[in-house]
Amino acid sequence: MKNIIVNADDFGRHELINRAVERAFSSGCLRSATLMAGGVAFDDAIELAKRLKGLGVGIHFTLANGNPILPPKEIPSLVTAAGTFHGDYIKFLKRYLSGKISLAEVRSELAAQLERIQRAGLTLTHFDSHQHLHHVPGISGIAFDLAAAAGIRAVRVANAKLFDGELDSLGKFVGRLGLGSLAKLTAHKAHKKSFATPDHFAGIVAGEAVNETFLVNLIEHMQSGTTEVMLHPGTDNQTLQDFCQWSHDFEAELAAVTSPRVLALLAEKNISAINFANLR
């Protein structure tokens, strides 16, 4: 048996991302999304999630490149002078490895993110994190503890293949190699704690977009079990690139998961599109 979980990260970050999730669910093979509790389009995402029956929603724990839920004065080690999280995972990790991040503040902030989504009335299917920080030792233990207490029993393991996507810099090579090693530790911890995980991960983790060619090749060579594909779809590249400060091809990913060629190939190969709630 072969299943695919197509998951949209950053749900709630911007209304144009929410619209892409809606279109990818209604006209494509997307059945899963992870919600940013601090996103500016959070309320819109909640309304959409309740309306789209069959869309599994997880929590996208966020500690970098976003907005906190708690007041900045309660989590000073996590935020800049402007009250936002530090710009990306590299800045976060530099602070973390130099002892400048309070794990007590991490726990408080992630708990507040989880509580905000729970108060909105969603039953969460799984957890992952923005820029994969739930794989970091110390952070991962907190995320697992909070998820277990909330009844969440599934997690992403971003064990991406080293040569998926372009490998045109030493930084990308080291980044993927490091993430792969941490992902293996996360998988071991998940299974020890009885969390379900997909069998395989196929998102491109270095910023490139998943396009139709990538998905067709993946489907043609898909292994048995469940494969998660990580996406960041959107409906307007220029607006979202400016807003996110990220030169990502959001539109290409939306086009890929709504591609008639992709949908026909999934049907031909008898591959089911599911979400994390279907994992055992």
Query: Taking a C-beta distance cutoff of 8 angstroms, is the pair 233, 10 a contact?
Result: no
pLDDT in tens, 97-106: 999 999 999 9
Q: What is the number of other CB atoms lying within 10 angstroms of the CB of residue 149?
A: 10
- Average pLDDT estimate for 193-220: 87
Domains of the chain: 2-278 (3.20.20.370)
pLDDT at 166: 54
Decide: 137 and 189 in contact? Cβ < 8 Å.
Answer: no
Give the tokens for residue 257.
């998961």
> Is the Cβ–Cβ distance between 4 and 30 less than 8 Å?
no
Residues 235, 102: Cα–Cα separation, whole Å: 37
Of 142, 140, 191, 135, give the one whose Cα is nearest residue 159. 135
Q: What is the pLDDT of residues 176-190, one digit of tens each?
A: 556 888 999 999 999
Cα separation, 164 vs 230, whole angstroms = 12
The answer to which of 102-111, 152-161, 231-240, 269-278 has the lowest mean pLDDT is: 152-161
* Whether residue 165 has pLDDT greater than 70: no
Q: Which residue shows structure tokens 């591609």?
A: 259
Helix (H, G, I), strand (E, B) or coil at 246: coil
Would you place residue 205 in the very low, low, confident or very high pLDDT band (cuts 50, 70, 90)? low
Cite the DSSP H helix spans in 71-102. 89-97
pLDDT of residue 108: 98
Percent over 90 (pLDDT), the chain: 88
- Per-residue pLDDT, 209: 83
Instruction: Write the single-letter amino acid at 220.
Output: E
The lowest-confidence range among 63-72, 168-177, 249-258 is 168-177
Q: What angle do CA 216, 219, 180 make, to 5 degrees?
A: 100
Residue 154 has pLDDT above 70, yes or no: yes
pLDDT digits (tens, 9 = 90+) for 122-133: 999 999 999 999
- Beta-ladder partners of 60: 128
Average pLDDT, the chain: 92
Tens of pLDDT, residues 45-83: 999 999 999 999 999 999 999 999 999 999 999 999 999
